[in-house]
Amino acid sequence: MGIDKDIKNKFEERAIQPSASSWERLSNQLDMHAKRKRRRRFFYISSAASILLLVSIFALSLESDTIEDSIIPEKMIVETPAKTPEVKKEIDDLLDKNETIIAKNDTPKQEITPRKRSNKKAVDRNKELVPIEIPKTIMQNKDVIAKVDKSTGKGINLSADEVKLNKKKGTSRISVNSEALLYSVTHTEEEVVAYYKAHKIDREDVLNSIKKQLKKSNLKIDARTILADVERDIDDASFKENFMKIIKKRVSDLATAIASRND
């Protein structure tokens, strides 16, 4: 078309000079655009950083929660019904034969050491030791109880003050093994024999009866150990009155402790 061609030729090379300030205006617009771009980039980066921070805090809190959940208290005292009623009955029968007064034993406390990760030492220690409840009368009379030092094999005396200290810490129990009880005997043989004579009691009969009952109960405990633990307090006036009662309590405590440990 002629008209199109004419117009195209005239307009193709047409140039109009822009105003003198046009470049300044464009330069300002470019600066503004660059600033806006920087601000937008900063906003995106800061948003991303904030999100990352929040996510990491959340993850850390989750992790700490799981660690807290996985920590199991080292020891806890759980009240459980005694599983040794038969043992108690047998001991009661034995003591009835000797015409003594038998007191009922309360529900014993069972000491449980729950499993803990990489804490095998604690578990092993509990296997070796038999927890025994110390009667109040012993602590009140400032008697000395002994335990065995593992490294030397010698007995260590534990004064009543130390026992009190333990009590203050929240426990009235001291763990000793069977040998420790033998060390606790502080009387000579003569004194013991004199005591039995004075009270007309045959020591061998008592010992045999304890052995027999322990065998029936399938408990491998040296009967002399139990007896020896009792005999060390024979000088005490109140103890003399309740001799058979205390024997019964010692046997009962030991049987309960062993039965609990076997659980």
Partner 1 sequence: MKIIPLHTSQASLLKKASRQNREAQQQLFEQYAPKMLGVCRQYVKDNHHAEDLMLTGFLKVFTNLHKFKNEGSFEGWIRRIMINTCISYLRKKNPIQLTDEDFMFNDEATESLENTSVEDIQKLIDALPEGYKIVFNLFAIEGFKHAEIAEKLGITVSTSKSQLFKARKWLQENYIKMNAISNGDR
Binding positions for partner 1, rule: CB under 8 A? 1-4, 6-8, 10-19, 22-23, 25-27, 29-30, 33-34
CB of 12 to partner 1, least distance (A): 7
CB of 13 to partner 1, least distance (A): 8
User: Which residues on neighbouring strands pair with residue 44, listed in sequence order?
Assistant: none
Query: Please, which residue, 3 or 78, has the CB nearer to partner 1?
Result: 3
- Judging by beta carbons within 10 Å of its beta carbon (0-12, 13-18, 19+), is residue 248 exposed, middle or buried? buried
CB of 39 to partner 1, least distance (A): 15
Please, are residues 76 and 256 in contact by the beta-carbon 8 Å criterion?
no
Tokens 């009140």 — which residue?
140
CB of 47 to partner 1, least distance (A): 23
CB of 48 to partner 1, least distance (A): 23
Query: Please, which residue, 33 or 197, has the CB nearer to partner 1?
Result: 33
- HSE, CB side, 13 Å, CA atoms: give it for residue 51: 6
Query: Please, which residue, 13 or 99, has the CB nearer to partner 1?
Result: 13
- HSE, CB side, 13 Å, CA atoms: give it for residue 87: 24
Please, are residues 239 and 233 in contact by the beta-carbon 8 Å criterion?
yes
Query: Please, which residue, 15 or 237, has the CB nearer to partner 1?
Result: 15
Query: Please, which residue, 26 or 52, has the CB nearer to partner 1?
Result: 26
Please, are residues 79 and 89 in contact by the beta-carbon 8 Å criterion?
no
CB of 45 to partner 1, least distance (A): 20
Query: Please, which residue, 42 or 58, has the CB nearer to partner 1?
Result: 42
**CA 105/CA 257 separation, integer angstroms:** 13
